[in-house]
Every structure is written in C-alpha cells, then in structure tokens.
Amino acid sequence: MNAADPTTVIHAYGLVPGDGPFVLPDRGIAGSKVRTVAFHDLEIVVSDLPAESFGETAWAEHGEDTRWVTPVAAAHHEVLQQLVEHGDVLPLQLPGIYPSDEALIAALESSRARLQHAWQLLAGRVEWSLQIFPTSAPAAPEQPAPRSGREYLERRRSQQDARDTERGRREAALTQTHEALAHGAAASVVRAPLDPAVTGRDEPMLLNSAYLVARDEEQRFLGLAEELHDHLVAAAGMRVEVTGPWPAYSFVGAEEPHDDDLTGMMS
C-alpha cells in the first residue's frame, strides 16, 4: 500500500473482482503504470500520477478546459474498456484523485453500502447504448401557389395536421422500441438527445438510451435491436445505432432496474 507522497496522487479508475481473473492494462493516464489496491473482496484499479500535473490544483485550473480533460478522460475510459472486455468492472467517475491508498480506501469505505448495491446490479452485466436518428425524408412535392387566402390557410392547417400525425407516429415507434429493449434488460435509462454540434451530424438525434444487459443475453439483445432497426427503417423512417459493450457508466448509483419514462426526452 502506497503511503502519502506529496509529489504523487492516486487516480482511481474502477473496481474489479478480487478473486479475478482480470487483465490489467499496460498503461493508464499519461502512460502511467496500472496497479490494484485491495478493498474487501474487490480490487481498486489505480495509477500513481504526478501531483503537479494531475492533483487537485491541476483539476481546479484545467477541469473546464476540454483540451486538457479530453485526453485524461479518454485514457480513463480506455483502462475501463480494456477491463470490461475481460470481466466485471464498476467504473468510478472523474476526477478520482486521492493523496494516498489509505485516503482512497477511506473514501470508498464511507460509500461501501452504495458500492455494494451497485456491484450487485452491475455484476455479470454490461452497458449497451442506443441512438435513433431519422433517415433522409423524401422531398415534398412542389405545389402550385394558393389561389386565395382561404386556400392558403387550409393548406397550412393540412400541413400542420400532417406534421402532428407524423410526430405522434414517430413518438409511438420510439416508445415501443425502447420498451421492447428495456423489457429484457436489467435496467435502462433514457438520456437527453445529444445536440448536432456534439454528434457532428445534420440529422437530429431522436432517442438516446442505454441498457444494462447480462453478458449471456447480449446476442439476444443485439438480435432484437437489429429487428427493431429493420422495422423502423421500413415503417417509420428512422434507424437504430447500437454501440457497446461499455463499462456501465449510466448505471453506477442506479437504485433498481426500471423502465424509463420517455416523456419530454425525445426530439
């Protein structure tokens, strides 16, 4: 166990089973060595980092700077991603900085009940993310100019009615898709759709959700997602994009398995 050293800090990535087997990544943040610290029947995966570059002062100065945070977050994720490919992992959030192993253990000890609950939910399961986007809509046929103000207003009402009908049909299809996938998952969550400025895409994100899936149920889940994708493309002008498996970021601290209310969460 590392004693406090003012020149270094302990960065915690996540927790893995203490009885293994797990494969530690070769390197972590800034090329640091990855090691473990015992915590009851689990192991905390950590790196020792220079305090000057990654301590509390550095986070206070640079924590809002995406150019500084992005490579740190990417390396943090890469460690967790490598771990989840070999077994269970409970991811810890950034920044996870502690002055010593003892301070890290004390901090986790104070949250032990919550961590045990989270571990029971996450063990044997991984996160799959799902996003739904519209496919390209066909161009509306050109119409002759209205011959009167009445015809103009009637055409506007008709167009609005068509948009309302389409919106209702789209929301029903999104709800059915989410519920079908959530039904077989241990837990699910619906998040706010990402802005096109974040996704880098012209089309809006219609649904942004995640599902906690048992490892032995992954093929069934992916098969169902493919079926739903084919249906949405053919019937509703939407497509499903599934990514994973990921460490269960969306479910750390989840209370109980549940289906989510999509009200207000879909574009």
- Can the peptide bond before residue 21 be classed as cis, meaning omega within 30 degrees of 0? yes
163 with 117, same domain: the answer is no
pLDDT of 267 reads 44
Q: What is the pLDDT of residue 156?
A: 64
pLDDT tens readout for residues 182-225? 998 999 999 999 988 888 888 889 999 999 999 999 999 999 99
Q: Which domain holds residue 47?
A: 8-122
36/139 same-domain check = no
Residues 83 and 189 in one domain: no
Mean pLDDT rounded to a whole number for the chain:
85
**246 and 137, same structural domain?**
yes
Same domain, 163 and 234: yes
pLDDT tens-place string over residues 97-147: 999 999 999 999 999 999 999 999 999 999 999 999 988 654 455 666 666
Contact in structure between 212 and 186 (CB atoms under 8 Å): yes
pLDDT at 250 over 70: yes
Q: How confident is the model at residue 148 (pLDDT cuts 50, 70, 90)?
A: low
The answer to whether residue 3 is domain-embedded is no
| Statement to judge: residues 150 and 97 lie in one domain | no
Which residues have a Cβ under 8 Å from the Cβ of 62 and sit 6 or more positions away?
A: 68, 69
CA distance 107 to 146: 70
pLDDT value of residue 255: 46
Q: Quick check: 84 and 251 in contact, CB under 8 A?
A: no
Q: Which of 42-51, 146-155, 164-173 has the lowest mean pLDDT?
A: 146-155
Q: Are residues 86 and 48 in contact, defined by beta-carbon separation less than 8 angstroms?
A: no
